[in-house]
Amino acid sequence: MSGPIGKPTPYIDGVQKVTGKAMYTDDYRFPNMLYVGLLRSPHAHAHIKHIDTSAAETYPGVAAVTVGTDLPISFGILPISSDENAMAVEKVRYVGEIVAAVAAETMEAAQKGAEKIIVEYDPVRAFIDPGDSLEVCDPAEQIHSHTKGGKNIHKTAELRFNEPEKALEQSPFKRTESFKFAGVTHAFTEPHSTIAIWNGDETLTVISATQVPHYLHRNLSKVLELPMHRVQVKKPALGGGFGGKSDPFAHEMITAYLSMITKRPVKCTFSREEVFINNHGRHPTTIDMSVGCDQDGIITALDTDTIIDGGAYGSFGVVTSYYNGVLLQGPYKIDKLGFRTRRAYTNKSQCGAMRGHGAVNPRYAMEVILDMLAHDAGIDPCDLREKNFLEENTVTVGQLRITSNGVRDCLQAVREKSDWDKLYGKQPYGRGLGIGCGFYISGSALPIIWNRYPQTVVHAKLDFDGRIVMFSGASDIGQGSDTMLAQIASEELGVPMNYVQLEVADTKTTPVDLGSYSSRVTFMVGNAAKMAAEKLRNEMAKAIAKEKDVSADDIVFRDNKIFTEDGAVDISWEDGVETALAGRGAIVESGYYFSPKMGGDFKGSGAGLSPAYSFGAFISDVTVNPSTGSVKVEKIWAAHDCGKALNPLAVEGQIEGSIHMGLGQAVSEDMRYVNGQIVNANFFDYRIPYSVDTPDMDVTIIESNDSEGPYGAKEAGEGPIHPVLPSIGNAIYDAVGIRMMELPITPDKVLAKIQEKG
Amino acid sequence: MGHYFRPTTIKEALSLASDWPGNYKYFGGGTDLQIYRKQKLLNNEAIIDLSELDDTCSIKADENSMKLGAFVTLDEITTSSDIQTHFPLLAEAAASVATPVIRKTATMGGNLLVNNRCTLYNQSKEWRDAVGSCLREVGNICLVTGGKDKCFSRNVSDTAPALIALNAVVIIHSQDGKKEIPLQDIYARDGIKFHDHLDEDAIVSEIRVPTKPASWWFKKLRLRKTLDFTSLTVAATVDSAGIARVCLNGVSMSPVLIEESLKKLTVETVIKKARKNCKTVDNDLMPLKYRREMINVYLNEWWKSK
């Protein structure tokens, strides 16, 4: 590569962000703007008997009041579970659910106005524990009327291949273990914020902190009954998503509606407490998992039964249910595999997608059990993993197509760097090493809503000024996709990065991209951007070749120059632009990305399909204080196969961020509830590790050069979280000989286990 | 609308207080109280900011004694070389409070008078309204214990146990004049009225420590290494005459002091006294059983370290 691809490249928006100049949604102000005040339910589960809005309507400063029946059309990220309303209709299903809203001249008037709305409720039995939701209940107590069999089960996902239970019975070594995981949430920095503007031409513009402008566009159109060509969604600078901004949200519908009826700009920004109430985080989960292996440590079968606590609405839950099972098909070869996941509706705010979606908790269970089997069979845990790794260019039992695979290199790197062979099992009591591996999709191969379009389209435009503008719907949520677009155009056209400018994440001016979820952007948008830039270069080369009478294939674009090796052409970029545009003016070229056809033909076969998979192996070094049970993670060695690091700085940042986030779920973070109400809805009581709690990190980037990824690239944003948690759990075993089956691993649980062991 | 005052003399502050009876709150740095205002746990209209009061911002510490103005920031305490040299127990206790940024604003006096906390009380108004009852606010049943007559909210000051172990006294001003009382006497074993010997308008202006201990010990229990309020703080000193002062906080409505000659003490008796005097209930994010166990673990550690 002669350009910036593969070189550490600071984010193009980095300086703007760290100097406070970047404009986030809440930074925008418009003339005559109104503010939204929300009234939320104090009940976990209740019928709404009556709403009296009269006192709110006459409250000074209030411009409009709205309730659930004004927007009766339901929505949701998945068409198969569009079970939410903008505001509760007839029933509330969790404490904090939005019941009514006002738009007012000031934030204070909005809040006070909302408080004037009087709601009469008729509470019914609330389901807090997902176990209760699995039982038949009084139909009047059912959370949603559409669930089957009189139970509150949202979805049962189940697949079985080659009778795993039989193979388990015959396995020389077998472990059946139960695990419990608290819910965790994304804890991004920027709270949710939305501004809606009803334009003079009867179109709607929504500026929102969203990872999915496209799906927000579709859902706004549906709920507001506005044709899609009259809805525009724009994503400005965004302060973190991690999956927590990947659903269309109630407050976005409400804000847009209030703008429509008042014909004024309207803004809604959440408090931190509201962000926690909105949640959509990782599901609280219980897992019963069985894994067997033979005398040589070869895995014979895996069977798992999982319950995930979905909260009151669907969100991504159907996908989460499948991911809890299908994403156990790697990085090890397992030919006999079965799973069942039941997603329970409960009267708490809904869970959804969060970094490593659906696969983080089962990964912990799997890696801990593998560790146990290794000890049972007398095999080193790293050796046992190596024996079982999938090869590259293979197909799993559930028809996942594995292409490039650098997992062996990952394991070897961390094993050497951590001095594993010398230290594992040999350190003094209280100090230990642990291994964890993982893999993850590099973009969901199937779109959420079936359609005949590509998964993304990118335009590259060149005009007389010599600048290249890349038009992409991709949403930079801090992961660096804007920088990647600029890098690719710069690489392909041989111009410095500052010749490339972007128009991004605006559903009116940019072609559709499905959004920043499932780690799809580098792979899919990267390929489309590369194609668009290549086509633009070819158009230029054709024109220059004609004028200079050389072959277009011989023309090189590099170092801001256009030339042939023999010197027949040697012109500046600007001269090349003039030649290329002569007689025709600006050039716009398009690139696109379609996933290849893949997968089996059974129900559920689409879940987990991806054009490529990332792989990783991490080793943690921990110290455990046996008298207090406190765990200190001293160091983590991380090796991740991202195919090719387009921007090694960004990849390293994603791996370090994953370590930090994984550490939080492993040792301190949890969503705590009292009667279904979140107790720790703030950054004080929701305990994210601080810098002083964060271990040393040693990051190794493994490049397996994927044959279909742009320049060989795969994902790096979600895969690296999976190995973090089990590597910590397994290190605690090496340190003090206890198995932590419940997360977060807080000192009280560690101490209890140490005492139990005696 | 709120009213904000920044008096420069104690007299002026007391006069402002009398202008706003029952409707004002004194501020040191405000790092604790601002959250109470945001959560609508405090609804006073007037704020009387005491951080500019004359003669309340100095540190004097030598090998014999220590004198601290109440409005010295916690950061100034932790970074003072005199305190680090002569009273490292206090430097360490102050450094364990909150985060470096908060310590730049939070004051010594403010930390001594930090409000008692409870998981089910320190919540937003909407949260409390949804839950319903709380003895300390509205309602007649304690949500933590199910009891009807006693609130067990926790005193969470980290500097209080350190200064009590150091035998500190505080200088207090009110309309009734100036008085000097032992620090431990300003705390009451009551989760709702958790201060004693403090008139409503009382201002703590100064903290005095008469002598330097022969030895000291300090430890704070929390999940993270920064920010968290304490789940258990133990500060202990032994003076030249062999008198031990062990003070526990974060596990009861007020700091719990055990003062006894080492000759009469065993580790078992210290633990027994501590466990008896701490009214520890399940009102912290750390589980109750664990916090109780840690009292034993910490006191054992202190005992061995002597």
Of B124, B131, B285, the CB nearest to A273: B124
Structural domains of chain A, count? 3
Strand-pairing partners, residue A304, are A289, A339
Residue A586 has pLDDT above 70, yes or no: yes
Q: Where in chain B is the domain with CATH 3.30.43.10?
A: 1-54
Q: What is the pLDDT averaged over residues A724-734?
A: 98
Q: Which helix (H) or strand (E) holds A308?
A: strand A299-311
Q: How far off is chain B from A447, nearest CA to CA, in Å?
A: 39
Structure tokens belonging to residue B38: 């945001």
Residue B140 has pLDDT above 90, yes or no: no
User: At which residue do the structure tokens 């007037």 appear?
Assistant: B46
pLDDT for residue A649: 98
Q: Are residues A517 and A627 in the same domain?
A: no
Pairing status of strand B215-221 against strand B232-238: antiparallel
Q: Where in chain B is the domain with CATH 3.30.465.10?
A: 55-117+153-306
Which residues contact residue A30 at a Cβ distance below 8 angstroms, ignoring those fewer than 6 apart? Answer: A195, A197, A265
Contact A748 B290 (CB under 8 A): yes
- Domain annotation covers residue A419: yes
Of B129, B227, B297, the CB nearest to A42: B129
CA A725/CA A744 separation, integer angstroms: 10
Q: Which of B124, B224, B226 to mutate to test the interface with A (most CBs of A within 10 A)?
A: B224
Q: Are residues A120 and A210 in the same domain?
A: yes
Reply yes or no on domain B1-54 having CATH 3.30.43.10: yes
Please list every residue in chain B whose beta carbon sits closer than 8 Å to the beta carbon of residue A681: 124, 127
Q: How far off is chain A from B273, nearest CA to CA, in Å?
A: 21
Of B223, B289, B293, the CB nearest to A746: B223
User: At which residue do the structure tokens 């994927």 appear?
Assistant: A706
> What range defines the domain where residue A648 resides?
403-442+612-757
Residue B1 has pLDDT above 70, yes or no: no
B163-208 pLDDT tens trace: 999 999 999 999 999 999 999 999 999 999 999 999 999 999 999 9
Q: Which of A684, A745, A749, A755 to mutate to test the interface with B (most CBs of B within 10 A)?
A: A684
- Domain annotation covers residue A539: yes
Q: Are residues A460 and A575 in the same domain?
A: yes
A669: domain CATH number is 3.30.365.10
Question: What does the angle CA A99 – CA A102 – CA A107 come to, to the nearest 5 degrees?
Answer: 120
Please list every residue in chain A whose beta carbon sits closer than 8 Å to the beta carbon of residue B126: 40, 42, 96, 273
Please list every residue in chain B whose beta carbon sits closer than 8 Å to the beta carbon of residue A672: 285
Please list every residue in chain A whose beta carbon sits closer than 8 Å to the beta carbon of residue B285: 672, 679-680, 685, 687
Of A672, A681, A693, the CB nearest to B224: A693
Please list every residue in chain B whose beta carbon sits closer than 8 Å to the beta carbon of residue A95: 130
Residue A2 has pLDDT above 80, yes or no: yes
Contact B293 A751 (CB under 8 A): yes
- List of E strands, A326-478: 337-345, 394-395, 401-402, 431-441, 456-462, 468-472
Q: Which of A679, A683, A691 to mutate to test the interface with B (most CBs of B within 10 A)?
A: A679
Amino acid at A575: D
CA A18/CA A16 separation, integer angstroms: 6
A77 close to A315: Cβ distance less than 8 angstroms = yes
Please list every residue in chain B whose beta carbon sits closer than 8 Å to the beta carbon of residue A92: none
Closest to B76 measured CA to CA, from B49, B110, B116, B106: B106
Q: What is the pLDDT averaged over residues B100-108?
A: 97
A723 close to A644: Cβ distance less than 8 angstroms = no
Contact A692 B287 (CB under 8 A): no
Q: How far off is chain A from B293, nearest CA to CA, in Å?
A: 9
Closest to B246 measured CA to CA, from B171, B306, B290, B288: B306
Residue A628 has pLDDT above 80, yes or no: yes
Q: Which of A270-279, B37-46, B289-298 has the lowest mean pLDDT?
A: B37-46
A97: domain CATH number is 3.90.1170.50
Which residues contact residue B129 at a Cβ distance below 8 angstroms, ignoring those fewer than 6 apart? Answer: A42
- Interface confidence (ipTM) of the complex: 0.96
Amino acid at B268: E
State whether residue A588 is helix, strand or coil. Answer: strand
Q: How far off is chain A from B130, nearest CA to CA, in Å?
A: 4
Please list every residue in chain A whose beta carbon sits closer than 8 Å to the beta carbon of residue B130: 42-43, 95, 677
3-state SS of chain B is CCEEECCCCHHHHHHHHHHCCCCEEEECCCCCHHHHHHCCCCCCCEEEECCCCCCCCCEEECCCCEEEECCCEHHHHHHCHHHHHHCHHHHHHHHCCCCHHHHCCCEHHHHHCCCCECCCCCCCHHHHHHHCCCCCCCCCCCCCCCCCCCCCCECCCCHHHHHHHCCCEEEEEECCEEEEEEHHHHECCCCCCCECCCCCCCEEEEEEECCCCCEEEEEEECCCCCCCCCCEEEEEEECCCCEEEEEEECCCCCCEEEEEEHHHCCHHHHHHHHHHHCCCCCCCCCCHHHHHHHHHHHHHHHHHHC
Q: Are residues A428 and A467 in the same domain?
A: no
Contact A690 B129 (CB under 8 A): no
C-alpha dist (Å) from residue A561 to A1, A507, A567, A575? 15, 34, 12, 9
**pLDDT band at residue B267 under the 50/70/90 scheme:** very high
CA B114/CA B102 separation, integer angstroms: 14
Strand-pairing partners, residue A288, are A178, A305
pLDDT for residue B235: 98
- Tell me the DSSP string of A53-122: -HHHHTSTTEEEEEEGGGS---B-SSGGG--B-SS-SSEE-STT-EEEEEEESSHHHHHHHHHT-EEEEE
pLDDT for residue B133: 81
Structure tokens belonging to residue B127: 């949260």
Q: Are residues A218 and A104 in the same domain?
A: yes
Q: What is the pLDDT averaged over residues B215-223?
A: 98
* Torsion region of A177: left, alpha or beta (phi above 0 gives left; psi -120 to 50 gives alpha): beta
Q: How far off is chain A from B288, nearest CA to CA, in Å?
A: 10
Chain A residue set in contact with B, beta carbons under 8 Å: 40, 42-43, 95-96, 273, 627-629, 668, 672, 674-675, 677, 679-681, 684-685, 687, 689-690, 692-693, 746-748, 751
Q: Are residues A581 and A636 in the same domain?
A: no
B249 close to B233: Cβ distance less than 8 angstroms = yes
Closest to A475 measured CA to CA, from A503, A446, A440: A503
Q: What is the pLDDT averaged over residues B222-242?
A: 97
State whether residue A665 is helix, strand or coil. Answer: helix
Q: Are residues A482 and A435 in the same domain?
A: no
B62 close to B86: Cβ distance less than 8 angstroms = yes
CA A435/CA A620 separation, integer angstroms: 7
Amino acid at A446: L
3-state SS of A179-227 is EEECCECCCCCCCCEEEEEECCCCCEEEEECCCCHHHHHHHHHHHHCCC
B198-213 pLDDT tens trace: 999 999 999 999 999 9
Q: Are residues A90 and A224 in the same domain?
A: yes
pLDDT for residue B132: 83
> In A389-417, which positions are buried (b, 16+ CB within 10 angstroms) versus exposed (e)?
bbebeeebbbbbbbbbbbbbbbbbbbbee
Residue B137 has pLDDT above 90, yes or no: no
Reply yes or no on domain B55-117+153-306 having CATH 3.30.465.10: yes
A390 close to A333: Cβ distance less than 8 angstroms = yes
Q: Tell me the H-state helices in A358-423.
A: 360-377, 381-388, 407-417, 420-423
Which residues contact residue A82 at a Cβ distance below 8 angstroms, ignoring those fewer than 6 apart? Answer: A74, A75, A76, A314
Closest to A423 measured CA to CA, from A740, A736, A431, A634: A431
Q: Are residues A634 and A533 in the same domain?
A: no
Which one of A278, A297, A319 terminates a domain? Answer: A278
Q: Are residues A709 and A650 in the same domain?
A: yes
Q: How far off is chain B from A96, nearest CA to CA, in Å?
A: 9
- List of E strands, A529-586: 555-558, 561-564, 570-572
Q: Are residues A433 and A475 in the same domain?
A: no
**pLDDT band at residue A97 under the 50/70/90 scheme:** very high
C-alpha dist (Å) from residue A147 to A74, A144, A343, B208? 16, 6, 11, 68
Closest to A701 measured CA to CA, from A750, A741, A648, A656: A648
Closest to A361 measured CA to CA, from A414, A315, A320: A320
The CA radius of gyration of chain B, in Å to the nearest whole number, is 19
Q: Which of B39, B125, B127, B128 to mutate to test the interface with A (most CBs of A within 10 A)?
A: B127
What average pLDDT does the structure give for chain B? 96
pLDDT for residue B148: 86
CA B195/CA B109 separation, integer angstroms: 13
Which one of A278, A311, A329 terminates a domain? Answer: A278
Q: What is the pLDDT averaged over residues B112-139?
A: 92
Q: Are residues A463 and A414 in the same domain?
A: no
**pLDDT band at residue B138 under the 50/70/90 scheme:** confident
Contact A689 B224 (CB under 8 A): yes
**pLDDT band at residue A406 under the 50/70/90 scheme:** very high
- Domain annotation covers residue A627: yes
Q: How many A/B residue pairs have CB atoms within 8 Å?
A: 62
Amino acid at A598: M
Q: With pLDDT > 70 as the criterion, what percentage of chain B qualifies?
A: 100
A409-467 pLDDT tens trace: 999 999 999 999 999 999 999 999 999 999 999 999 999 999 999 999 999 999 999 99
Amino acid at A364: Y
Which one of A235, A263, A278 terminates a domain? Answer: A278
**pLDDT band at residue A697 under the 50/70/90 scheme:** very high
Please list every residue in chain A whose beta carbon sits closer than 8 Å to the beta carbon of residue B134: none
Q: Tell me the H-state helices in A606-647.
A: none
Residue B139 has pLDDT above 90, yes or no: no
A703 close to A645: Cβ distance less than 8 angstroms = yes
B105 CB-contact burial (10 Å; exposed 0-12 / middle 13-18 / buried 19+): middle
CA A541/CA B111 separation, integer angstroms: 71
Contact A693 B228 (CB under 8 A): no
CA B197/CA B146 separation, integer angstroms: 30
Residue A301 has pLDDT above 80, yes or no: yes
User: At which residue do the structure tokens 């703008």 appear?
Assistant: A259
A114-165 pLDDT tens trace: 999 999 999 999 999 999 999 999 999 999 999 999 999 999 999 999 999 9
In B, minimum Cα distance to A752 occurs at B290
Pairing status of strand A173-181 against strand A742-743: parallel
Through-space distance between the first and last CA atoms of chain A, rounded to whole angstroms: 59
State whether residue A34 is helix, strand or coil. Answer: strand
Q: What is the pLDDT averaged over residues A48-61?
A: 98
Q: How far off is chain B from A48, nearest CA to CA, in Å?
A: 16
